[in-house]
Amino acid sequence: MFLPLKRLLILLGFASAIALCGIFVPSLMLPTVLFDFALFFAALYDFFSIPRKDELRIERMHEKYLSIGAENPIRISLQNLSRKHACAQIRDGYPEIFSSPHDTMRCNLPSFSESNVEYRLVPSKKGGFTFDFVDVRLQGGFRLVARQYRYHTQTSATVFPNIIDLKKYLRMTTAHRIEQLGYHKREFGGESEYDFLREYIPGDDYKRIHWKATAKRRFPVTIIYDREYNRNVIALIDCGRMMSTRYQLLTKFDYAVNATLVLAAAARNRKDLFGIAIFSDTVKEFVAPRRGTSFFSGILPPLARAEAEYRHTDYLHIHSFLQKRLRKNSILFVFSELYNRTISAQLVAMLSIFARNHTVRFVSFEEKEEEVEGNTTEEITRWILQMELALEKALMIRDLERKGVHTIRVNSDDITRKVVNAYLSS
């Protein structure tokens, strides 16, 4: 496709202005004609100096599994097989449901060379998707005209929960730098499970000095015991209509799934047993608390399959379902949402009953109150109702605290960090 560029249009406008002036000043006619011929041959040279479509090779490279709500790197490789030099603009044909802050890339293509460009893509829905094409616009040396080509380079990718954050958490845990991500440091100390030896520090319990190691190394050595963790940690994720609403980029359910994935990694590192239950009117997915080598192969697939649905949530059903399967005290992270006392009566009842025998952490999203922009009756009424709902929600959270249910107030930016820290502090 032939495309005139902005510089050519400006020069043509300048030539037209000179031609109009030549009507009144005949001496300008010859310079005008010479300028038009020069511009024509410059544009013609620009056009033929651009590589043809068959002289380029385009390849798209990305991970097989992309992460929902995260910036996934997508790389495009361009290979110039001709002797011609060009400046390229590249735009990828990613699925429409995705978004990218900068989806137009630029690079130079010298003769017989290869260039790579990269951009970040943010998926907003899980599942399988296809990239269809890549559009490339090549400009000549004078920047007068361009050729635009479309290359059909189909590639497929599957969007999973946020495995990028999961890999980052695991990598920083291995490097003992987890606090750099905003998570709590590992707390040492326990009763009987041996962990490691280290040099005595003033303030350590002298009863824990390892005398044999002290005699061997000729300086005081303290024995450190690990915390005895062998608890059940279960994430209960509501996938009903209260969690199907959009909260910033993703649904509340998607944010809950992303946080659950990192919570599972934290539980594995602490040698706890981790399980999940995804429910609405019925139990959609259930993985009993466990640990082992097949841990993530058991946790990740159900989290990837589950989707939020516009259904009424039956909280009493999930309570009776788990009551038959939980044989010991567990830590329950409940991802759901409060609205008002009438709609949330079942949820409050379920949390209160669970709190009698388990440690319950209720995860609730903080709603952003919109200020009144005008003075109309409708806007003022909407603002009053909004403030009444926020107040009623705060009162319900206070009542839950009295019943032993700790509420974690989160937003889209800090839900994973707050949930994992609440577990690490327990």
pLDDT in tens, 324-345: 888 788 899 999 998 888 888 9
Quick check: 228 pLDDT over 60? Answer: no
Residues 349, 268, single domain; the answer is yes
Both 136 and 265 in a single domain? no
Poorest-pLDDT segment among 15-19, 261-265, 334-338: 15-19
Which range, of 95-99, 185-189, 232-236, 374-378, averages the lowest pLDDT?
185-189
Q: The domain containing residue 137 runs over which residues?
A: 1-160
What is the predicted pLDDT for the residue at 177? 84
Domain boundary residue among 143, 160, 177?
A: 160
Question: How far lies 60's CA from each of 17, 63, 67, in Å?
Answer: 46, 10, 18
Phi and psi torsions of 153, nearest 5°:
-115, 85
Residue-wise pLDDT for 347-373, tens only, equals 999 999 999 889 999 999 887 655 556
Q: What is the pLDDT of residue 292?
A: 60
- Whether 153 and 237 share a structural domain: no
Contacts of 25 (CB under 8 A, 6+ apart): none
pLDDT band with cut points at 50, 70 and 90 for residue 227: low
Do 141 and 236 share a domain, yes or no? no
Beta-carbon contacts of residue 210 (< 8 Å; ≥ 6 apart): 197, 221, 222, 223
When divided into structural domains, the chain yields a total of 2
**Is the model's pLDDT at 424 over the cut of 60?**
yes
Residue 151 falls in which region: left (phi positive, over 0), alpha (psi -120 to 50) or beta = beta
| Residue 162 in tokens | 């946020």
Tokens found for residue 319: 């309570």
Residues 145 and 41 in one domain: yes
pLDDT of 213 over the 90 cut: no
Confidence class for position 10, pLDDT limits 50, 70, 90:
confident
Same domain, 154 and 241: no
What is the per-residue pLDDT for 36? 79
The answer on 132 and 266 residing in a single domain is: no
Q: Is residue 241 part of a domain?
A: yes
What's the N-to-C CA distance of the chain in angstroms? 63
Out of 119, 137, 160, pick the residue that ends a domain: 160
| Within-domain flag for 167 | no
Residue 176 lies in a domain: no
d(CA 374, CA 384): 13
295 pLDDT band, cuts 50/70/90, is low
| C-alpha to C-alpha distance for 92 and 90, rounded to whole angstroms | 7
Question: Domain with 256 in it: what CATH number?
Answer: 3.40.50.410
DSSP string of 75-89, one letter each residue: EEEEEE-SS--EEEE
Same domain (yes/no): 341, 261 = yes
CATH number at residue 14: 2.60.40.10
> Does 208 fall in a domain?
no
Q: Is 106 within the bounds of a domain? A: yes
372-381: average pLDDT = 68
Among 160, 186, 215, the domain-final residue is 160
pLDDT of residue 372: 55
Mapped onto helix, strand or coil, the DSSP state of residue 202 is coil
- DSSP 8-state class, residue 186: P
Q: What is the pLDDT of residues 177-196, one digit of tens each?
A: 888 888 887 554 444 555 66
Residues listed for the chain: 426
Q: Which of 415, 239, 252 is nearest to 318 (CA)?
A: 239
Checking DSSP bridges between strand 273-279 and strand 283-290, what pairing results, if any? antiparallel
Rounded CA gap, 323 and 358, in Å? Answer: 11
Q: Is residue 227 part of a domain?
A: no
Query: Ranked by mean pLDDT, which of 182-186, 251-255, 391-395 comes out on top?
Result: 251-255
Using CA atoms, how far residue 83 sits from 79, 80, 108, 113, 118, in Å, is: 12, 8, 14, 9, 25
Q: What is the pLDDT of residue 264?
A: 92
Q: Quick one: 13 and 124 in the same domain? A: yes
Residue 180, domain member (yes or no): no
pLDDT attached to residue 297: 76
State residue 209's pLDDT score. 81
Can you read off the two tokens belonging to residue 260? 């659950």
Does 156 share its domain with 242? no
If asked whether residues 114 and 247 sit together in one domain, one would say: no
| pLDDT of amino acid 203 | 64
Instruction: Please report which confidence band the pLDDT of residue 66 belongs to, taking 50, 70 and 90 as the band edges.
Output: very high
- The two tokens of residue 39 are 């511009």
Candidates 63, 411, 33; CA nearest to 256 is 411
Sign of CA dihedral 252, 253, 258, 261: positive
Rg of the chain in Å (alpha carbons): 31
Tell me the pLDDT band of 160, cut-offs 50, 70 and 90.
very high
Please give the C-alpha separations between residue 332 and each of 126, 221, 405, 419, in angstroms, as whole numbers: 25, 38, 10, 11
What is the crossing angle of helices 6-24 and 29-48, to 10°? 160
413 in any annotated domain = yes
